[in-house]
């Protein structure tokens, strides 16, 4: 796999080694291999790893192919593929399905990761995750380098995600930004709360449309974009402004819980509808999207 990187002004003066281990997101093992095999060039010429690179230089690295054990047969129906190339794939995650093994879904359980592995016929490398009850786009890398590169983009805030959700009530104003720090409720709790000593968390929202609910209540279909990436961020923020997601059994108000129960909703109504990122190999912007998927009880709203 050939990867190309143009040195940016911010990277000017870094050693080639630091560039490979940092912005280019190669592992220590990958860096050693490409140096030993002479598989890295700068401006089409050999280059020592302790030499500084300069703005505009073109670094090319030929990564070795990853030989992975394959299964006797691939299950091509295991997942709904939204995008695929030699480096990565994006798939649709239904609800309720865990993304990868966890204490509540031990290894060997049915997870999105295991389904992707059956589809590929070999191991897969998850880039990020969604809560089990959240539907939508999830990225997987086919090789560790791509996983590391995409996760670094996520850490740097260079991956843009967009969600849609059904919420109880209508936020006022109908579009805006929520800047409210999020912390664990207690040191060992999985539940999050808005609290001054928490990590900075920013979400943007806008109302797509509203719909009446039983008992004279009102719901709103929302576009949501997390600027930061805190656990349960969108769910916590919407509850914070008085519009918890319908069906949410962790973050709710008595009114939203009552309406959700009346509708027969057993999990929160949140769907990851698009993700935009820079392809680690081609350097091109890639956008993957899908239609939102909610519980069928909301199909008439």
Quick one: pLDDT at residue 69? 47
The hierarchical CATH code for the domain 80-160+273-293 is 3.30.2350.10
Give the mean model confidence (pLDDT) for residues 247-271: 95
Q: CB within 8 A of 182, min separation 6: which ones?
A: 192, 193, 194, 195, 198, 199, 201, 230, 231, 232, 233, 236, 237
Summary mean pLDDT of the chain: 90
- Residue 81 clears pLDDT 70, i.e. is over it: yes
- Residue 108 clears pLDDT 70, i.e. is over it: no
pLDDT interval class at 210 (50, 70, 90): very high
By residue count, the chain amounts to 301
Domain spans, the chain: 2-62, 80-160+273-293, 161-271
Catalytic option among 43, 86, 131, 291: 131
Task: Give me the CATH topology for the region 161-271.
Answer: Pseudouridine synthase (3.30.2350)
Give the mean model confidence (pLDDT) for residues 84-113: 84
Confirm if 181 and 200 have CB atoms less than 8 A apart.
yes
Q: Name the CATH superfamily housing domain 2-62.
A: RNA-binding S4 domain (3.10.290.10)
Active site residue 131: yes
**Which of 29-33, 54-58, 59-63, 204-208 is the most confident on average?**
204-208
Same-fold call for 80-160+273-293 versus 161-271: yes
pTM, entire model? 0.81
pLDDT interval class at 150 (50, 70, 90): very high
């Amino acid at each position: 796999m050939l990867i190309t990187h143009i040195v940016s002004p911010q990277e000017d003066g870094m050693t080639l080694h630091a560039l490979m281990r940092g912005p280019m997101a190669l592992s220590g093992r990958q860096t050693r291999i490409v140096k030993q095999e002479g598989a890295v060039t700068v401006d089409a010429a050999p280059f020592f790893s302790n030499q500084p690179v300069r703005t505009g230089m073109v670094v090319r690295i030929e990564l070795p192919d990853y030989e992975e054990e394959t299964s006797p047969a691939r299950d091509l129906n295991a997942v709904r593929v939204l995008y695929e190339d030699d480096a990565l794939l994006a798939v649709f995650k239904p609800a309720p399905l865990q993304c990868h093994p966890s204490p509540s879904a031990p290894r060997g359980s049915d997870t999105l990761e295991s389904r992707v592995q059956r589809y590929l016929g070999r191991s897969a490398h998850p880039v990020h995750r969604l809560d089990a009850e959240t539907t939508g786009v999830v990225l997987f890398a086919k090789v560790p380098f791509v996983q590391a590169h995409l996760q670094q983009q996520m850490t740097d805030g260079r991956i843009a995600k967009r969600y849609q959700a059904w919420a109880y009530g209508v936020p006022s104003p109908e579009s805006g930004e929520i800047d409210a720090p999020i912390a664990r409720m207690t040191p060992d709790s999985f539940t999050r709360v808005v609290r001054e000593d928490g990590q900075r968390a920013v979400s943007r929202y806008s109302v797509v449309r509203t719909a009446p609910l039983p008992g004279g209540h009102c719901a709103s279909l929302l576009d949501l974009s997390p600027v930061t990436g805190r656990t349960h961020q969108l769910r916590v923020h919407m509850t914070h402004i008085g519009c918890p997601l319908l069906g949410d059994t962790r973050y709710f108000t008595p009114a939203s819980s009552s309406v959700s129960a009346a509708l027969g909703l057993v999990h929160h109504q949140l769907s990851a509808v698009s993700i935009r990122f820079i392809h680690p190999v081609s350097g091109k912007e890639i956008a993957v999207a899908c239609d939102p998927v909610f519980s069928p009880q909301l199909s008439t709203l």
